[in-house]
């Protein structure tokens, strides 16, 4: 009976300790810093290189284990990928790195079809990332939304 009571107390202290630890935790920010076609592609499918910057607003470092990601334009997934080759992001710091993405043929065809049937001056995009930060924390889901114009800027 004492052993069961001891285990229950240890479990309660552990849970309360984790709960108090995670209340100050802020979600890291992911910024897209560059986007280009990979110079060398393997096979017939083009690959894209996406520059990312992860900003860690927390005091503890992020030891990123892996990441899956996708880019959607007008709710059509056009690029996606995953990597386990990620840097350690220091506490109150940032890290810059690149990832590779492959096109989604069907999503791209649907987007092109939509662009051909509708006159659109701008497009909405969404970058979604799922970061694995280790066993103690759940996956971090990050989503960045924006809009880009298809029109040429006016000359001054």
Among 68, 71, 70, residue whose Cα is nearest residue 82: 68
Distance between CA atoms of residues 105 and 102, nearest Å: 9
What residues in the chain have per-residue pLDDT under 50?
16-21
Among 73, 29, 75, 74, residue whose Cα is nearest residue 52: 29
Instruction: List, for residues 90-115, the tens digit of each pLDDT value.
Output: 999 999 999 999 999 898 888 888 88
Q: Could you tell me the domains of the chain?
A: 25-149 (2.60.40.10)
Phi/psi of residue 10, nearest 5 degrees = -60, -40
pLDDT of residue 22: 53
Q: What is the pTM of this model?
A: 0.72
| Residue 74 DSSP code | T
pLDDT of residue 66: 92
pLDDT of residue 20: 40
Instruction: List, for residues 123-134, the tens digit of each pLDDT value.
Output: 899 999 998 987
pLDDT of residue 13: 55
| Strands of the chain, DSSP E | 29-37, 48-56, 62-63, 66-73, 76-83, 88-89, 93-103, 122-132, 140-149
pLDDT of residue 6: 56
Among 20, 44, 45, 48, residue whose Cα is nearest residue 34: 48
Distance between CA atoms of residues 49 and 101, nearest Å: 7
């Amino acid at each position: 009976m004492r052993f069961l009571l001891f285990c229950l107390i240890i479990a309660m202290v552990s849970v309360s300790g984790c709960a108090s630890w995670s209340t100050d935790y802020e979600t890291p920010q992911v910024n897209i810093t560059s986007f280009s076609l990979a110079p060398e592609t393997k096979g017939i499918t083009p690959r894209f290189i996406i520059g990312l910057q992860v900003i860690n607003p927390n005091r503890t470092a992020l030891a990123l284990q892996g990441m899956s990601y996708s880019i959607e334009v007008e709710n059509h997934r056009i690029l996606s990928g995953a990597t386990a080759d990620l840097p350690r992001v220091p506490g109150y710091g940032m890290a810059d790195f690149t990832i590779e993405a492959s096109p989604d043929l069907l999503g791209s065809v649907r987007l092109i079809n939509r662009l051909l049937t509708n006159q659109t001056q701008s497009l909405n995009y969404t970058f979604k990332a799922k970061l694995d930060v280790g066993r103690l924390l759940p996956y971090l889901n990050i989503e960045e939304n924006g809009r880009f114009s298809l029109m040429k800027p006016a000359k001054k």
